[in-house]
Amino acid sequence: MDFRTIIDIPVSDIRIDHSTRMMLFGSCFSENIGRKLLQSKFQVDVNPFGILYNPFSVSAAMQRLLSAIPFSEADLICHNGIYHSLMHHGHFSDPDRAICLQNISARFESAVSQIRQTDLFLITFGSAYVYQWKESGEIAGNCHKLPAWLFHRFRLSVEEITEEWGKLITSLREIHSDVQLLFTVSPVRHWKEGAHENQVSKSVLHLAIDNLLQLFPENVRYFPAYEVMMDELRDYRFYEDDMMHPSPFAIDYIWHLFGNTFFSSETSKIMKEWEQIRKAMEHHPLYPGTEAHDAFVKDTLRKLESFSKKYPEISVEVEKWKGA
């Protein structure tokens, strides 16, 4: 007898391997999966604007990258001595205007160089609620704790999200006809919106994604991270102390299901080989400088060199430099 609801996730027709060029945008799930992908040496750019929660801010970020229009000081606002961009997460902010702009521009330029060659976009929607900057009408990706009266708060409709993303997907298909978009809904509850409003918000996101699945069946897929967390892991032991965010165990479990869905057996084999090397390189010795430790380091470097020759498409230059 099984005392939980198992989410049936069929193996996807999308195959992700180490040659797949990926970009991830959106809420915390994108960050969590992005870290796992980076650790496993996939080609991935994770949230070049930082964490974004609503569908319009994610769309605006991607369109800005496609336009390649750089950011300038005119795009920044100053509040309590800190410079911010309404399109970016707070980790780009800085008391020095030049440093803030430099932080934004470095990530922006890197992402611009990649977006038109991207094979797969993983998009995570967190909330259908948006905050519109009254002064310009811009939808804020992050409010940076500015006074609430400066914003107009409202909930996007299913139709608005579908129309916005329908246009964006059409543009992406014109650049790369085989582009794939993998959507998820963040399992993190936005409790400040209220229990009922959170449920309505998540429902809007699900319905909008379902519309996109119907409109673009060749390019759009869905991964049920939300359903796994809400049903298969329906227990507070799988949450962080705030009772809102998935615990490390839950993230690992969803990552395992993600791999089963999108990775081939060959890709999984490569990942296991790399994981052994990665853990060895992160090992902190009790007695550095001993013969045993020197032998361990030399053996690890030999394995790294062997891995590099076996899989030349996977870059390990950073690890070689650290181990040298």
- Mind listing the pLDDT tens digit for each residue in 46-81? 999 999 999 999 999 999 999 999 999 999 999 999
Q: What is the pLDDT of residues 190-212, one digit of tens each?
A: 888 889 999 999 999 999 999 99
Q: Hey, what are 306's tokens?
A: 């062997």
DSSP label at residue 313: T
Distance CA 148, CA 41 (A): 41
CB atoms within 10 A of CB 218: 10
- At residue 244, does pLDDT exceed 70? yes
Q: Domain 21-263's class?
A: alpha beta
Residue 98 buriedness (CB in 10 A; 0-12 / 13-18 / 19+): exposed
Average pLDDT value for the chain: 94
Q: Provide the 3-class DSSP secondary structure of residue 282.
A: coil
Task: Please tell me the predicted confidence (pLDDT) of residue 61.
Answer: 98
At 320, is the pLDDT very low, low, confident or very high (cuts 50, 70, 90)?
A: confident
Domain boundaries, the chain: 21-263, 264-324
Give pTM, 2 decimals.
Answer: 0.94
Distance of CA 97 to the CA centre of its chain: 27
Cα–Cα distance between 221 and 209 in angstroms, integer?
9
Distance of CA 245 to CAs 29, 77, 93, 289, Å?
10, 30, 24, 42
- Residue 17: φ, ψ to 5°: -135, -175
Q: Is the pLDDT of residue 1 over 70?
A: no
User: Given pLDDT bands bounded at 50, 70 and 90, which one contains residue 189?
Assistant: confident
